[in-house]
Amino acid sequence: AGTISSLQRQLEIQESQLRRTTSEKETLQRKLREHENQLQAMSAKICSLSEEREHEEMMVAIEKENCSLRQVVTEQESKLAEQNKLISELQGTVSQLQAEVLSNQQHIHKQQQAQQEIQSRAEALQHRELQTRVALERITSRFERYRSKIIQATFSTAGSKPPQAEVTDEEVLEAMQKIINERLEFHQMLKQKGIK
């Protein structure tokens, strides 16, 4: 009985130690879970901070790239404005040249028309000149025949000497005037004598 009682006390002591140890174990497990939770929270926070830092670094890099891109865009816009200005100037120059070309074409067309008119007039004048020359040659030929007949009639009258050389128009006129004057004198003399 003494042994059993001793064993029961030891058992109770052991059970008490077991309960205490179990309680301590549960406490330790709870603290361990709390520490694990804290550790996970710290890890998450550290991870979040790392991500935020990486994000900040990425944002800084993106901002730098954006700044560089904005500078490139500004330069491109400036170049584009210059190109647009140059294009506008070139378009104005092209329009002016087109207007000058059109004006020159109209001027050339007018000159061609005027040249055609002048050429047509020149051809008409040449034709008239040819006709005039033909008519002049005919008139000259008729005049020469008529002059020859006048000379022949003038110097074939009684008392006239035939010319020894070529007779000028003045000499022919003088000879004809002399004949006319003689006929007038002869006519006056006949009238004075009453002869018809």
Q: Which CA distances in Å does 38 have to 31, 34, 42, 91?
A: 10, 6, 6, 75
Token look-up 């020359």 returns 133
- In this prediction, residue 157 carries a pLDDT of 67
Phi, psi at residue 162, to the nearest 5°? -65, 145
In angstroms, rounded to a whole number, what is the distance separating the alpha carbons of residues 19 and 27? 12
> How high is the mean pLDDT of the chain?
85
- In this prediction, residue 134 carries a pLDDT of 95
Confidence of residue 163 (pLDDT cuts 50, 70, 90): low
Confidence of residue 161 (pLDDT cuts 50, 70, 90): low
Phi, psi at residue 194, to the nearest 5°? 80, 20
Task: Report the pLDDT averaged over residues 156-181.
Answer: 78
Residue 2: is its pLDDT beyond 80? Answer: no
- In this prediction, residue 172 carries a pLDDT of 81
- In this prediction, residue 98 carries a pLDDT of 86
Residue 162: is its pLDDT beyond 80? Answer: no
Task: Report the pLDDT averaged over residues 48-77.
Answer: 85
Task: Report the pLDDT averaged over residues 147-159.
Answer: 76
Task: Report the pLDDT averaged over residues 64-77.
Answer: 88
Q: State which of 59-73, 119-133, 145-159 shows the largest mean pLDDT.
A: 119-133
Task: Report the pLDDT averaged over residues 21-35.
Answer: 83
- Domain boundary assignment for the chain: 1-117, 122-193
Question: 87-144, pLDDT tens digit by residue?
Answer: 888 888 888 888 888 888 888 889 999 999 999 999 999 999 999 999 999 999 998 8
In angstroms, rounded to a whole number, what is the distance separating the alpha carbons of residues 50 and 58? 12
- In this prediction, residue 50 carries a pLDDT of 78
